[in-house]
Amino acid sequence: MGFYWKDKKDQLFARRGNLPEADYSAWTSFEMGLREPAPLPARPLDLARFLASSITFMTNLREVSLVFNDKKLVHLTKDADKPSDVAIPRDMITKATTPKRTMVVRKVTSTPLHITANVLRWVYATGSERSVPAKPLPPKQASTSHNFFSSFLSSFVAPSPSRTPEPLLSSQESITELLASTESSVVLSVFSAQVDVNLDQKMLTELERATKKRPPRTATYSLIYVSTFTIGVIFC
């Protein structure tokens, strides 16, 4: 599938076609050219961290790679353990229902989420436009989560005025060292509530008129939890 800008204006169209048997792949490819040449939307490290935060919330996406000029800069993988049921505390049972019983929480589960990032040291060395805790480049042969996931997890903690931009490219790093990959990992917990949706006929009709489709009968509401221990390890 290919996307293109019709008449070089603002309308984006999709073009489909059949590939020759020699080019057949089980993967579906999407191609979309820019209307005008443009640089990367952010520094490689910031873009990689955006992908890491995005893959966290994706249900089916398990693996993402960032490739530039045939060089894999970042490789992200996500593994989810089997979800386990979480009992709703007695003092919260009455809060699990909206006043008019429009939504009722029927079940809560907890799922450990493991995210691993393999990042070229060059990506770290290019620096970040965001303010994060000052850290040196990661050790060459060590596995660490201190650098890559620190900015990602900073959204879960209060901002600190002592943060400084990450270091820029170091002249002491050789090309071979900069092209070496560093592995980082983090474990998160995703709590999901299974919600039954009960709407009266008037609201059903109005929502269907506005959205052109019937509202769902069930919904899933998820929250990501990061332990204070994990935050302490990453920011220490």
Which residue, 109, 110, 112, 113, is CA-closest to 55? Answer: 113
Tokens 């080019």 label which residue?
Answer: 23
Render pLDDT for 156-211 as a digit per residue (tens, 0 to 9).
444 444 444 444 445 566 788 888 888 888 888 889 999 999 999 999 999 999 98
Tens digit of pLDDT for each residue in 207-220? 999 988 999 999 99
Pick the residue with more confidence: 21 or 109? 109
Indicate the residue type of 109. Answer: T
SS3 180: coil
- Cβ contact 133:235 at 8 Å: yes
Query: What is residue 28's predicted lDDT score, i.e. its pLDDT?
Result: 72
Residue 60 has pLDDT above 50, yes or no: yes
For the stretch 145-163, pLDDT in tens is 445 676 555 554 444 444 4
